[in-house]
A and B are shown apart, each in its own frame.
Chain A
Amino acid sequence: MSLTTMPATGSVEENRSTEPQRPSALSRLGTAFAMFRNPKSLAGLVILGIFALVAILAPVIAPFGPLEKDFSALKQPPSAQHWLGTTHLGEDVFSQIVYGTRGVLVVGLVAGVLATLVAVIVGVAAGYLSGWRSEGLSALTNVFLVIPGLPLIIIVASQYDDPSIVLISAVIAITGWAWGARVLRAQTLSLRNRDFVQAAKANGERLWRIIAVEMLPNLTAIIASSFVGTVTAAVLGLTTLAFIGVIPITNLNWGTILFWAQQNGAFPDFWWWYVPAGLCIAILGTALSLVNFGIDEYVNPRLRSAGERARAMRKKGLSMASGVTAVRVAPEDVDDAPGGTASPAAEASATTAAGGAAPRP
């Protein structure tokens, strides 16, 4: 498991310290991770890091083996010995969840990496090439967008008695790459005609160099966001498949726990059996979404500054009723205004928020 090389395992600082101490590489890394440098992304990455640690250290953390049976303690509620209680066979739920983290993260990462690779290759090629090759690739993308993923996965997976993790990941990836490819194609199309790409072309740089050196750095944010999106979809897909019973129970993950819980009548009385696994999926999904919010705000600064600007305006005593064009509240209405320190002269002065150039009081 090469989790340590993924950005998901650590914050910016951790990754920096492991890099060679060349200033150029350092600063380059800093810019590469700029999209993660906001509270939302960091919070998401920290949660992901904790999950990754749990997955790596599973044998150390888990007090029992995931399938270790203790027939003297069946369906026990949480206690000092079994932190999250036991199943109908006396298995420790906490240990199952700790080991199940591995299955979820491995499939999520493998499917995410595969799908992102396909998306980058197809999307960038479709955006950069022209003529029938571009048309063909985007038609291919659209076909995969239209084909419903979950039914196809179920049909394919039901063909194998014991599908391996790699096969499951591959099938999830095959049904999940198209959206990223579509977004990447649109962005590449707009990059293709920028001056710096034209200049590189005029310099006689080779195709792969133009794509790898000139274009890919400008696509990192979109690639990262499509990677995070696919991982989220893969985690949800995997747990859903496991819950439906399409994935063999030998692949232990959070969905398998829920499958067993439902099969053995855990609902509604044995809450310790089914609540933690579902919460883990939701927390992991929320963490991934947080990372994506951060990337979104990095790509689209309007999303980032909207809240800050509104708060700044309220401090100045401007009405936030609309938030678009703030009108200073007239003296008669001062009672209603938050911190109304408006002067009569300001009554007529409308300040636009759009430019961020509100005159100081």
Chain B
Amino acid sequence: MRFLLRRLAFYAFTAWAAITINFFLPRMMKGDPITAYLQKHQSEFNPEAIDSLRTLFGLDSDKPLIQQYWDYWGQLFSGDLGRSFSKGLAPVSEVIASALPWTLGLVGIATIFSFFIGTSVGTFIGWRRGSRADYVVPFATFFSTVPYFWMGLIVIAIFSTRLGWFPASHAYDKGSSPEWSWDFIGQVVAHGTLPALTIVFASLGGWVLGMRNMMITVLDEDYVTVAEAKGLSPQRVMTRYAARNAVLPQLSSFALALGFIVGGTLVMELVFSYPGVGKLLLDATNAKDWPLMQGLFLVITLAVLVANILADVAHAMLDPRTRMMES
């Protein structure tokens, strides 16, 4: 119980810190893109929207800082993140909500695949250590250090420009709009294959190496020797005794990786022009669309935080030692 409370306190603190950083970021920046924009486009805004933007970006400098801070929190709790300059003054929350499913779907599936493949391969290589399977390690290392955008561009050059097997960009064909039809789903799959494959390839190495190292460490434990000596089948020892314990750190990394799904694949979305959260952030940066940038940063940070909570809960449930040590 004490453990849970401590973790909760930590997450509350981190969330507070992230939101506070978000509050101070535009106030510390030199120059003021907001005022200039507001002056130019005053007529397009209704007074309420201007007020909300003033609060978000510290333009209400006549108020004391602490008052600004309180107003900021009030606005966040009512779900008001301001309006996006570059997206026709649509509310930021709606703009983000429209991009989120694409990122979550594509990167989520890719990350889950990568985790399962990588962990299985790592289990096997760790089990057959010293055999020819070890040659996978240098290849996995090389692929995990290849810059992602470079791999993506080369993959596009080969499979899409040269061979024409897959479309090179966007999430679905030009001219069609999202709907629940087989045709549209087929388009989404065709457009998502290359990005997903590159993500799997780029992140596989980390999972393989992490699992292999844990397997080698765990295989030296006495309980594995005992299980072997009892005459259990090698398969059973590998999966139920060694891998089961070795996978614990992998699981917490997996939960963290889930958190970075939301914001971590910026480069993929840039290379493939995929209409997700990362692309949105890059577009917002180029357009100096401050409300959107700030809202995205907040959403990305909170996603990581939620994933951290999941990682902690999963770890505490699977490994009783964590609970005892921390409390």
Binding site for B on A (CB under 8 A): 139, 142-143, 146-148, 150-152, 154-155, 158-159, 232, 236, 239-240, 243-244, 246, 255, 258, 262, 267-268, 274-275, 277-278, 281-282, 284-286, 288-290, 293, 296, 300, 302-303, 306-311, 313-314, 320-325, 350, 352, 354
Question: CB-CB < 8 A to B237: which residues of A?
Answer: 322, 324
Q: Would B18 and A143 count as touching, CB distance under 8 A? A: yes
Judge whether B150 is part of the interface by a CB distance below 8 angstroms.
yes
- Is B247 among interface residues, defined by CB-CB distance under 8 A? no
Whether B322 sits at the interface, judged by CB under 8 Å, is: no
Give Cα A200 to B301, complex, Å: 43
Q: Does B219 contact A (CB under 8 A)?
A: yes
- Majority secondary structure, B binding face: helix
A151 touches B266 (CB 8 A): yes
Q: Do the beta carbons of A281 and B147 come within 8 Å of each other?
A: yes
Measured between beta carbons, the chain B residues less than 8 angstroms from A296 are: 213
Closest chain A residue to B282 by CB distance?
A244
Contact among A243, A286, A308 with B141 in the assembled complex (CB-CB below 8 Å)? A286
Do residues B216 and A306 form an inter-chain contact, with CB atoms below 8 A? yes
Please name 20 further chain A to chain B contacts, defined as beta carbons within 8 Å, in addition to the given A148-B300, A159-B30, sorted by A numbering.
Answer: A139-B10, A146-B304, A146-B308, A151-B266, A151-B281, A154-B282, A159-B31, A232-B145, A239-B147, A243-B150, A282-B145, A289-B141, A303-B216, A306-B129, A306-B130, A310-B130, A311-B130, A321-B234, A324-B237, A325-B228
A285 touches B149 (CB 8 A): no
Instruction: Please indicate which of the listed interface residues A159, A236, A239 has the most CB atoms of chain B within 10 Å of its own CB.
Output: A159
How far apart sit A281 and B156, CA to CA, in the bound complex (Å)? Answer: 19
Decide yes or no whether B296 CB sits under 8 A from chain A: yes
Chain A residues with CB under 8 Å of B216's CB are 302-303, 306
- The 7 closest A-B CB pairs, nearest first, are A310-B130, A285-B145, A268-B157, A278-B150, A325-B228, A307-B130, A282-B146
A-chain residues with CB within 8 Å of residue B18 when the two chains form the complex: 143, 146-147
Query: Please, how many angstroms separate the alpha-carbon atoms of A262 and B131 in the complex?
Result: 42
Contacts of B222 in A (CB 8 A): 354
Interface size class of B (residues with CB under 8 A): 35 or more
- The residues in B between 157 and 207 inclusive whose CB is less than 8 angstroms from any CB of A are 157-158, 161-162
B264: Cβ under 8 A from any A Cβ: yes
**CA separation between A268 and B154, bound complex, in Å?**
7
Q: Chain B residue with minimal CB distance to A293? A: B141
Nearest chain A CB to B82's CB is how many angstroms away? 15
Query: Which B residues form the contact surface with A (CB < 8 A)?
Result: 10, 13-14, 17-18, 21, 25, 29-31, 127-131, 134, 138, 141-142, 144-151, 153-154, 156-158, 161-162, 213, 216-217, 219-220, 222, 224-225, 228-229, 234, 237-238, 242, 260, 263-264, 266-267, 270, 281-282, 285, 288, 293, 296-297, 300-301, 304-305, 308
Q: Which of these, B131, B220, B229, contacts A350 with CB under 8 Å?
A: B229
For A142, what are the chain B residues with a Cβ–Cβ distance below 8 Å? 10, 14
Nearest residue in A to B228 (C-beta to C-beta)? Answer: A325
Interface centre among B134, B220, B305 (most CB of A within 10 A): B220
Determine how close the nearest CB of chain B comes to the CB of A330; give it in whole angstroms: 14
Residue of B nearest to A292 (CB): B141
- 6 CB < 8 A contacts A-B: A146-B301, A236-B145, A282-B142, A289-B145, A307-B129, A350-B229
Cross-chain contact A303 with B260 (CB below 8 angstroms): no
Cβ contact of B301, chosen from A147, A310, A311, cutoff 8 A: A147
In the bound complex, how far is the Cα of B281 from the Cα of A314, in angstroms?
Answer: 55
Given A244-B267, A268-B157, A286-B141, CB of A303 within 8 Å of CB of B217: yes
CB distance from B290 to the nearest CB of A (A): 9
Contacts of A244 in B (CB 8 A): 266-267, 270, 282
Inter-subunit contact B158/A324 (CB<8 Å): no
